[in-house]
Structure 1
Amino acid sequence: MSAAESLVDWEEMLGATSPLAALLPGFHVRVQQQEMAARVAAVLGDGGVALIEAGTGTGKSFAYLLPALLSGRQVIVSTGSRALQDQLIEKDLPILRAAWPQSLRSLRLKGRSNYLCPYRLQEALRDGVTATLQRDLLRVADWAAATREGDIAELRSVAEDSAIWPLVTSTRDNCLGADCPAQSSCPVLEARRQAQEAELIVVNHHLLLSDLALKAEGKGDLLPSADALIVDEAHQLPELTAQFFGQHLSAHRLAEWGRDIRVAALAEAADDGDLRAAAQDWEHAVQRWLESAGEGRQEWCPDDDAGVAQQFRALLRCFEPLHGQVRAAAVRGKGLEQCARRGEELQSVLAHFAAPGLEEQEVRWCERRGRGLLLHATPLDPAETLQKHLFSQFDAVLLTSATLRIGGDFAQTRKLFGLPESKDFLAAAPFDYARQALLYLPDGLPEPSSPGYTRACLEAALPVLEASGGRAFFLFTSHRALQEAAAILSSRLRYPLLVQGQAPRSRLLERFRTAGDAVLLGAASFWEGVDVQGEALSTVIIDKLPFASPGDPVLQARLQRIRERGGDPFRDLQIPQAVIALCQGAGRLIRSEQDRGVLMLCDPRLRSKGYGRIFLQSLPPMRQSSELAEVQDFWRESA
């Protein structure tokens, strides 16, 4: 079937007389949605890789879910967030199945930590928990007796960040696997069994990449081998791939291993005081290593003279004696046997971070965050990893997002994904940006490197906030700038001020919507995945072009690699990454046909630097102005 013939069919499937139109009173006919569905169907039928940019309001979830459901193929759909995963399963797919009852069976599959572990729940009930967790534990126990799926998101009466969840869920490290006495009632195993039988499986990127990484290591799999893959929010995939195909080691993981050895030894080898003492020595060595690291990120060199490297070498000297003792004691119980298995895995990871000279393939770095210390080994080129481990695994791969084009085309995006060619398609947003939005580029602001830059941005933004009556997101590229702005605006703003970090994101958004005239200050987590429709969000202000921190060791290593290969690091990596991030932030503004708003970009480099036009060309086609009076007129006209 050609794309043109397919389009005729999809006009009927998603048109004014379609089953969806009969089922949904507010259904909008969108030509872009029909065209995208036709493209998705063609790629699912013919194979290959497609890049599809689908603007906000296209209705892209229906445009890929319906062709997938009717394709007759086993399809995995991967989303960038658990919220979108839940939306597809709980809202979109039930609607589509009601309209087309003959469509394929679908299933949501999450990572292990999202499911109850019956064995660990029983252990927690037997051993007891602290008084502060007792109520949450009893709620979990009551729910466990009634749940069918064991998905912890079902239990809304226990907070997502409750300390009870790590005690009643499992990780790869502490799962007993085939030796678990509660294996027959394991929700994780049941979910994976059902996934083998489902034709459409909805996962998130973390689970997808965990599965591909396990397969690459020859350590089994988490997902069935499907015919096709659809990746929503695909702009996140290169960076996440680098994370999941790297090596990671945390002080928490090392300390937990020592603690679990002590607990298992007490229960299964109480007479072995030497083993418990060795485990305690190990925990002390981990703590000394943790305390030796400075805050922030830095390159990791295992044989240099820095204190953190010296303490790591001391840690290695403690490892072999403890590992030998726990292996010898493994025959005395399942807990010790599992600790011995974990020791084998830790031995491999420790050796990786102790080995010299792996700079050609990866960059190794350490990161101290509060009370945590992590070592990372990150692949230098995620595009190579995607080619080898993702695109080769499926007959058809569709990558879709609201932000895939850079400077108006897909060429740079293909480079980021390592694609020599792709089937490209733009499903433009169905909004009238020229009427609905105004892009304000204020004159007279200093260079972003200026010490007074944030204060200058605020002075320029205050009259804009007055003109819109609050109702704004003010997005920052750094937490330092966000905190400076919060301190200044707290005494200058007559609207409710909400600041990231004051409360969980979901609660801040709820307060923002309820207030109706609030100003919310946010950093990274508010630049994407946030949907506020209507008048409550009428202005988005962005302080700087979101270039990645030049001091980041991963970025520095990648830039050097591009230079060595004769490329231009700024053009080939830094600009594409920043364009996608900026378009995600700008995309918070217009979310429906009724929305109107002002996008204010403070950074003067948009007009003073040649590369600024790449950013401007990548934004929706809004009317531009550098006059505050036009912003004020825009809101007077709206009123």
Structure 2
Amino acid sequence: MSLSLTPSADLLSSDGLFEQQWPAFTPRPGQQQMAGLVDSAMANKDSVVIEAASGSGKTIAYLTPIIAQGHRAIISTASRYLQQQLYRQDIPRVQKIMGTSHSVALLQGRNHYLCPYYLEKNLQADAALGKQQQVALAQLAQRYRQTGSGDLDTLAPDLSSAMRRYVTSSRDDCLAKQCPHYARCPLMSVRQKAQTADIVVVNHSVLFTDAVMRREQLGDLLPEADIVVVDEAHRVADFAQGIVGQRLSSRKLKQFLVDASKAVHDHAPEQRQLLAFIQQLESALVALSSQLPSMENYRPEQHSQIIEQLITAFERVGKNLLPFKDRHQHLSDVLVRCQLLRDKLRVMSSTEQLCCVHGNQHGFMLQTIPSHLAMALKPLFKEAAGSWVFTSATLSVAGSAQRFLQSLGLEDTHFQQVDSAIDYQRQARLFTPQITVTPDHAEYCLQLLEQLMPLLAAVDGRVLCLFTSYRNLNEVGQGLRGFIDRPLLIQRSANDQSAGDNYRLIERFKAVPNSVLLGTGSFWEGLDLSGIPLAAVVIDKLPFAPPSDPFIEWRTNELEKHGINSFEQAILPDAVIRLRQGCGRLLRRISDRGVIMIADPRLRSKAYGDVFMQSLPAMEPLSNLAELKPFLQHSNNSTSESE
């Protein structure tokens, strides 16, 4: 029988095609149920929201019907790790089993692709860069000429984020068709390939953006897709709140002014008044960083006034550049960039969304945020006439997914929970050690280390430690280094010059059976360790969003103004979802066994701890390592047998 005529659930059942072709495959009822839901959604051009518990095999569950039916699909994920896993492992594996050869494209954000224009421009800027940076750029240029590849993840996987900004473009400074390198632009090449691909893997940053940028990046892909799968769907609101709106950093504005000043100085030095004005504008941006209006007592007119002043300033720069733009390509280029920035500022000024200016480590950020996310996303959902599938292991809080559905305007979309064969009562224990200080106390990490090191000594196998901040991660990492007889792998901040590729770090973790990995950020979710057992997952504290985040401040104030308890309705549910994601890293197969250690004493001492407990899988809670020993002894024997 043809694959397209075979129900996907049958392909994934006992004696089905997957069990015949894949020795490690285990049929899972939840996986078959989810594949059937996707089959039905595609047949009826309908949409569905699926919460698939960890270990249910949701990725294979949605890939099977897509590949079997040969439908044109867009698959969107929140994390780059899952993107890479889909593209490098999961899709090729399913295609091999089914004997298909559908074309697949990976479409990432701009900062993953080299921009030849800015590489060349910054190679010529001897005074702006240090010798070491110039050497690094020269080596990168040579590799680019030799390979012809502009994918920075393969061309220069160890390139720091600080260096990437010299060799990539953003929408705010991309010259598009006016760029002299447009014909050989790596980003445009990837987008052209995606236009003809059967399956396109993207991230939420590409999918959940404003209509103009989405059209620029996806072209006609969305209207022509038969199905759009949104994996890691619990992160959609996070992405969309910051992306459906507009963002513009002071760093980007300052970099433009530096480039404009140099272009005018080199090619129109008689324009002294323009040079003086650009210099004044540079000084004004620096001064503004320390004089930003408050987000706590938000007054929109204070924020919009700053944007209006910037519009006036950039209009003046553009007007003065226009008469002599044809003298040199650099002058023409900065004029185009000036107009792009001016136009973006105008859009930000005219929007009915929240408009704010808030500080960051590099100065400040101009940002608009939709006050009603569901309304902002409606045009996106209408663009794709086919099916939409939203899926994640964590869409509900205390059993209800109502908040997720309402946030995206999906109240009328069918919601289905898919069970997993994993039995947490039998396979896991919840360890809540006796720590006597709260997470904000100076001695918290010390007490955490005192509980963590005996646990590491007691368990055999890999241990994943998840942190809510790099500060805690680095402090605990420093405390462990040299005191444990295990390989220690530590995620580095993107701002750290020694930061490497997370994908490769995880591959190292998989390769070393007794290693300990310390991670934060995306390591809480989208980290698929299927087939690689963990002995324990350690969580430093309950993952509440930092109250200093400007958007969190604004959302809290807005909810409270309308008589809504912001903690109960927003902050707590978000933290519950994140904790569920972290805990979900432990058990992926019915043969796995392990311990979840949540160090935060607030899980037991605070009333809201009950909401966390009700949302986690039911498992026996223990507070003493001695109580864990019988379980650990059995788990260690199992780990030894499986490795």
TM value normalised by structure 1? 0.83
Where do 1:42-121 residues align within 5 Å?
Answer: 42-102=40-100, 104-121=102-119
- Equivalent position of 2:199 in the other structure: 200
Where do 1:220-619 residues align within 5 Å?
Answer: 222=219, 224=221, 225=223, 226-266=225-265, 268-290=267-289, 319-350=314-345, 361-362=353-354, 364-369=356-361, 371-390=362-381, 393-442=384-433, 445=436, 454-468=445-459, 472-482=463-473, 485=476, 500-501=491-492, 504=499, 506=502, 517=514, 519-531=516-528, 537-565=534-562, 567-619=564-616
After superposition, the C-alpha distances for 1:308-353 in whole angstroms (9 at most, x for unaligned) are 9999998777545433312333344443334333333433555677
- Equivalent position of 2:640 in the other structure: none
In 2, distance between residues paired with 1:470 and 1:227? 43
Q: What SS does the aligned partner of 2:31 have?
A: helix
In 2, distance between residues paired with 1:176 and 1:558? 36
Q: Which moved more, 1:144-153 or 1:591-600?
A: 144-153
- Unaligned residue ranges in structure 2 (runs of 5+): 637-643
In 2, distance between residues paired with 1:571 and 1:143? 53
How much has 1:240 moved relative to structure 2? 0.5
After superposition, the C-alpha distances for 1:470-516 in whole angstroms (9 at most, x for unaligned) are 95344343455555655666697676666554853637656766775
Q: What SS does the aligned partner of 1:34 have?
A: helix
Q: Which amino acid aligns with 2:232?
A: E
Change in Cα spacing, 1:508 to 1:38, as seen in structure 2 (3 Å) is closer
In 1, distance between residues paired with 2:442 and 2:143? 54
Q: Which moved more, 1:559-568 or 1:245-254?
A: 559-568
Change in Cα spacing, 1:206 to 1:313, as seen in structure 2 (3 Å) is closer
The answer as to whether partners of 1:547 and 1:574 remain within 8 angstroms in 2 is yes
Equivalent of 2:33 in 32, 35, 55: 35
How much has 1:108 moved relative to structure 2? 1.9
How much has 1:388 moved relative to structure 2? 4.2
How much has 1:635 moved relative to structure 2? 1.4
In 1, distance between residues paired with 2:438 and 2:93? 51
Q: What SS does the aligned partner of 1:76 have?
A: strand
In 2, distance between residues paired with 1:177 and 1:448? 48
Q: Which amino acid aligns with 2:542?
A: L
How much has 1:599 moved relative to structure 2? 0.7
Where do 1:170-209 residues align within 5 Å?
Answer: 170-209=169-208
The answer as to whether partners of 2:477 and 2:490 remain within 8 angstroms in 1 is yes
In 1, distance between residues paired with 2:27 and 2:319? 67
Change in Cα spacing, 1:222 to 1:481, as seen in structure 2 (3 Å) is same
Q: What SS does the aligned partner of 2:209 have?
A: helix
Q: Which moved more, 1:455-464 or 1:63-72?
A: 455-464
How much has 1:250 moved relative to structure 2? 1.4
Change in Cα spacing, 1:323 to 1:524, as seen in structure 2 (3 Å) is same
Change in Cα spacing, 1:608 to 1:266, as seen in structure 2 (3 Å) is closer
Q: Which amino acid aligns with 2:32?
A: Q
How much has 1:243 moved relative to structure 2? 0.6
Equivalent of 2:627 in 623, 627, 630: 630
Q: Which amino acid aligns with 1:323?
A: G
Q: Which moved more, 1:487-496 or 1:221-230?
A: 487-496
Equivalent of 1:14 in 12, 15, 39: 12
Change in Cα spacing, 1:48 to 1:531, as seen in structure 2 (3 Å) is closer
After superposition, the C-alpha distances for 1:556-615 in whole angstroms (9 at most, x for unaligned) are 332344445554433332222111110111122224444321112233444455543332
What is the root-mean-square deviation of aligned Cα atoms in Å?
Answer: 3.9
In 1, distance between residues paired with 2:410 and 2:67? 27
In 2, distance between residues paired with 1:250 and 1:325? 23
In 2, distance between residues paired with 1:444 and 1:138? 52
Q: What SS does the aligned partner of 1:284 have?
A: helix
How much has 1:366 moved relative to structure 2? 0.6
Change in Cα spacing, 1:223 to 1:125, as seen in structure 2 (3 Å) is farther
- Unaligned residue ranges in structure 1 (runs of 5+): 1-5
After superposition, the C-alpha distances for 1:42-83 in whole angstroms (9 at most, x for unaligned) are 112213331112233333222212322344543211111222
How much has 1:232 moved relative to structure 2? 1.0
After superposition, the C-alpha distances for 1:224-250 in whole angstroms (9 at most, x for unaligned) are 223421011111110100111223221
After superposition, the C-alpha distances for 1:276-320 in whole angstroms (9 at most, x for unaligned) are 3433333333333346569x987775876xxx9999998777545
Change in Cα spacing, 1:322 to 1:239, as seen in structure 2 (3 Å) is same
Q: Which amino acid aligns with 1:287?
A: V
Q: What SS does the aligned partner of 1:397 have?
A: strand
Change in Cα spacing, 1:265 to 1:302, as seen in structure 2 (3 Å) is farther
The answer as to whether partners of 1:233 and 1:401 remain within 8 angstroms in 2 is yes
How much has 1:251 moved relative to structure 2? 1.5
Q: Percent identity?
A: 35
In 2, distance between residues paired with 1:604 and 1:127? 54
How much has 1:34 moved relative to structure 2? 2.0
Q: What SS does the aligned partner of 2:228 have?
A: strand
Change in Cα spacing, 1:196 to 1:530, as seen in structure 2 (3 Å) is closer
In 2, distance between residues paired with 1:353 and 1:10? 46
Q: Which amino acid aligns with 1:206?
A: S
Q: What SS does the aligned partner of 1:538 have?
A: strand
Q: Which moved more, 1:89-98 or 1:578-587?
A: 89-98
Q: What SS does the aligned partner of 1:28 have?
A: coil
The answer as to whether partners of 1:500 and 1:523 remain within 8 angstroms in 2 is yes
Q: Which amino acid aligns with 1:243?
A: G
After superposition, the C-alpha distances for 1:73-103 in whole angstroms (9 at most, x for unaligned) are 4321111122222222222222333333456
In 1, distance between residues paired with 2:184 and 2:280? 37
TM value normalised by structure 2? 0.83
The answer as to whether partners of 2:533 and 2:587 remain within 8 angstroms in 1 is no
